[in-house]
Amino acid sequence: MKQVWALALLAAMVPSLHAVEKQYVSGQIIDVQQKTNTRVLYYQVDTPITRDEPYYEVSVRLEDTIYLGRYIPRHSSETLPEEWQPGSSVPARVDAHHLFLKKPSGVDVEFAIAKRTAVKSEPKTSEPTPVTK
């Protein structure tokens, strides 16, 4: 009977081991751009009927990598937080194909990673000592 309970307890714990998410790290926003894609809805005779669909591209530096992420809003009037300006810091985490940025409200925004660029960290230079005579 004890073996059955131990087995049931082990089976209940296994799914929770896979649910561990990566921790958020502080990232720096490099660039934010709003762009549009023009999509053909249908053709009327030989004339395409199109609609512009907005999307955002955000470049974020996390440690020694700059991630370029694309976000398609649910509604054309949806915008990114005003606090997300170049040079500002933002909590971020990276999945295999996604970049998650946390809004000031605590909600995650999921970006599809379009590009990863490795950057070299800047070596720390020490102040030269002044020469006195």
Q: pLDDT tens for residues 68-120?
A: 999 999 987 889 999 999 999 999 999 989 999 999 999 999 999 999 999 98
pTM for the full model? 0.71
pLDDT digits (tens, 9 = 90+) for 12-69: 555 554 455 678 999 999 999 999 999 999 999 999 999 999 999 999 999 899 999 9
Could you give the residue ranges of the DSSP H alpha helices within the chain?
Answer: 2-18
Residues paired with 129 in a beta bridge: none
Computed over its alpha carbons, how large is the radius of gyration of the chain? 23
